[in-house]
Amino acid sequence: MGMPKAMVDRKKCLSCGGCISVCPQDALSMEGMKALVEDDKCISCAICIRICPVGAISGEVYS
């Protein structure tokens, strides 16, 4: 099992773009007005999870 990677709850995301602006790996982008994580770029730093103002990002372990 790998480290948990960021995952965006599309129902909660309000498309503020904060997570995209701080991602050190440029692993996030806006897709259909919701943030989307490219999980092969994600290094599990959890910065985006902590900064989301509405708690729309969580850590998920991908199998």
Binding stretches for other proteins (CB under 8 A): 14-18, 20-24, 26, 29-30, 33, 47, 49-55, 57-58
Strands 5-8 and 57-60: antiparallel
CB closer to other proteins out of 44 and 50: 50
CB of 47 to other proteins, least distance (A): 6
Q: How far is the CB of 39 from other proteins (least distance, A)?
A: 18
From first CA to last CA, the distance across the chain in angstroms is: 7
Minimum CB separation from other proteins for residue 40, in Å? 18
Q: Where are the beta strands (DSSP E) in the chain?
A: 5-8, 28-31, 34-37, 57-60
